[in-house]
Amino acid sequence: MNSHELRVELEKHHREGYGWALSCCARNPAEAENVLQAVYLKVLQGKARFDGRASFKTWLFAVIRRTAIDERRRQWLRRLRMDRYEESIGNTACAEGADAAIYHSEIRVLFRRALAELPRRQREVLQLVFYHDLSLAEAAKVMEVSLGSARTHYERGKQRLRQLMKGVEISDEAGRGENQKAVPTTE
């Protein structure tokens, strides 16, 4: 089936596909729209191929269902990671007190500033990998660059971040004792 035929079939089954996506997404319209968009991308990019063993509608609904399940799993894992992170931050904040919370907040601000100073591609690949949990291969696709280029930007970005954060000493003692530097030094 060529691209034009796929588009015609997708348009023909859009209304029913959206209804099925709503069912698969617990009646959440925003999630259903995201799932349907992901399905259309998979189909049009050839990641999901219609082989003719079933009707187009049956195949499309199966792709929608699998995509919704994958998205639900991704969201569940993201929430789980976020819950663990918040729990660790909450436990740390309670155990360390206000000084430590302020210190860690300042470190995060300094890190964000250092990240903002990176060249655009280095910043993008680091954000995709660290904040959005993508692999380097996935980040390369998002950035529309080769995997080798993404690796180069990733390594150079990490190296530049180390340089920018060189004057900042991160301490388990919340900045007490010998680790009083909180602002990067310029050398």
What CATH number is given to the structural domain containing 60?
Answer: 1.10.1740.10
Q: What is the pLDDT along the chain (187 residues), one digit of tens a residue?
A: 788 988 999 999 999 999 999 988 988 999 999 999 999 999 999 999 998 888 899 899 999 999 999 999 988 888 888 888 877 776 655 555 677 777 777 888 888 888 888 998 898 888 888 877 778 888 888 788 899 999 999 999 999 988 888 876 665 444 444 444 444 444 3
Q: Is residue 156 within a helix (H) or strand (E), and if so which, with residue range?
A: helix 147-164
Q: Please, what's the b/e burial string for 42-59 (b: 16 or more CB within 10 A of its CB; e: otherwise)?
A: bbeeeebebeeeeebeeb
Left (φ > 0), alpha (ψ -120 to 50) or beta: where does 48 sit?
beta
Residues 111 and 186 in one domain: yes
**Buried (b) or exposed (e) across 22-39, using 16+ Cβ within 10 A?**
bebbeeeeebbebbbebb
How many angstroms separate the CA atoms of 28 and 30, rounded?
6
* Residue where a domain stops, chosen among 78, 108, 123: 78
DSSP codes joined into one string, 96-154: H-HHHHHHHHHHHHHHHHHHHHS-HHHHHHHIIIIIS---HHHHHHHHTS-HHHHHHHH
- Same domain for 44 and 105? no
Residues in the chain: 187
Q: What is the pLDDT of residue 159?
A: 92
In this prediction, residue 176 carries a pLDDT of 40
Note whether 180 and 110 are same-domain residues.
Answer: yes
Question: What kind and span of H or E run contains 79?
Answer: helix 56-96
Are both 111 and 164 inside the same structural domain? yes
The tokens describing 187, both together, are 């050398």
Asked whether residue 41 is domain-assigned, the answer is yes
> Looking at this protein, which amino acid is placed at residue 128?
L
**91 within a domain of the structure (yes/no):** no
Q: Are 34 and 71 in contact (CB under 8 A)?
A: yes
Q: Are residues 120 and 74 in the same domain?
A: no
Q: Is residue 111 part of a domain?
A: yes
Look at residue 152 in the predicted model and tell me its pLDDT: 96
Residue 143 counted as domain residue: yes
- Domain residues for 32? 3-78
What is the value of pTM for the model shown? Answer: 0.47
Which residue type is seen at 154? Y
Q: 112 with 184, same domain?
A: yes
* Shared-domain flag, residues 101 and 74: no
Residue 111's pLDDT is 82
Query: How many domains is the chain built from?
Result: 2
25 lies in some domain:
yes
Flag whether 83 is in a domain: no
Residues 106 and 37 in one domain: no
- Does residue 7 sit in the same domain as residue 41? yes
> Looking at residue 83, what is its pLDDT?
82
One domain, residues 106 and 144: yes
Q: DSSP assignment of 12-35, as one string?
A: HTHHHHHHHHHHHTTT-HHHHHHH
Last residue of a domain, one of 78, 107, 137: 78
Q: Give yes or no: residues 119 and 173 share one domain.
A: yes
In a domain, 84, yes or no: no
Boundary of a domain, candidates 46, 78, 110: 78
